Amino acid sequence: MVETLQLDTAAGRFQALAAGPADGPLTLVLHGFPDAPPTFELLLRELAGRGLRAVAPWMRGYAPSPLAGPYDVETLAGDVVALCDILAPDGDRVHLLGHDWGAAVTYAAAALAPARFGPSLALAVPHPLAFLRAAATSAQAVRSWYMAFFQVPGAERVAAARDFARLERLWRTWSPGYALPAALRAEVWRCLRASWPAPLLYYRAMFRPVAEARRRLSPSSGIARRLTVPLLYLHGADDGCIAPSAARGAARYFVGAYRAEVIAGAGHFLAAECPDEIAGRAAAWIHGAG
């Protein structure tokens, strides 16, 4: 059974979906863009069936969680740590399973508070330094055109036009073999309408202010340091957003165990596309059989 939680933090009340035994290993499932926890419900059920306590919060900037910024990755990682303190107040290590922006937040949280996290997973977005290297040396920059577009004044109005038609096109392009079921589309679009333009502002916070962006990506800064938290990276072979090759060489950014696997037949939204396979790999990694 999937239940709804209300989690009160200093930043406000976060809402989350949850499933699984209360005493199971706690796994925070972090969504990305343009997405919301309802598309992860099947994954939550699969994780619960494997003995995990899976909790998927609406991230900051996504209604019904707090909408106010800032939206920089360090603030988002701080939200994750605050949720861990509520859900695991005795200090037990929490596992992260982050997709897309949730993957970026996973790297940041693991860098800033490594003692808080056990073996974790990132889906569809490689370590940020690996991604930047790919964007600078390959066609990944072309695939990531929307990141530049979102920097343009007025992009929020264009992206929201015709009931977010451009974002629907992203879903189709990024996961070419998958059609988002109508009921789930309705849930995601309801969230986007109530949240806009906060989800787009994540992308502006990547580069602004420029001095802060440079600091975050410096090898001596918190989120760019080599990670000690064991991490399994999963990427869909048919991802139309980020090429699997973008993760090449990412192992150099990890001190702890790191493994990368490509999922055949899956696109960008692989947690929605193949929740049973993702849950199986996640449970094996978290339980130590990875």
CA 277 to chain CA centroid, Å, is 18
Q: Could you state, in chain order, the average pLDDT of each consecutive group of 10 residues for the chain (290 residues)?
A: 96 98 96 98 98 98 97 96 95 96 96 96 95 90 93 96 97 96 97 98 83 66 80 98 95 94 97 97 85
pLDDT value at residue 91? 85
**Per-domain residue ranges of the chain:** 3-286
Return the CATH number of the domain spanning residue range 3-286.
Answer: 3.40.50.1820
How many CB atoms are located within 10 Å of the residue 177 CB?
Answer: 11
**Model-level pTM?**
0.95
pLDDT value at residue 181? 97
CA distances from 33 to 46, 170, 265 (A): 22, 10, 21
pLDDT value at residue 219? 63
Dist CA 90 CA 105 (whole Å): 23
E strands of 179-280, at which residues? 231-236, 258-263
Tell me the residue type at 103. A
Partnered with residue 16 across adjacent β-strands are: 5, 57
The residue to which tokens 């998958």 are assigned: 178
> Residue-wise over 103-137: b if at least 16 C-beta within 10 A, else e?
bbbbbbbbbbbeebbbbbbbbbbbbbbbbebbbee
pLDDT value at residue 225? 74
Output the CA angle 179-27-119, nearest 5 degrees.
Answer: 105
> Residue-wise over 54-63: b if at least 16 C-beta within 10 A, else e?
bbbbbbbbbb
pLDDT value at residue 289? 47
pLDDT value at residue 73? 94
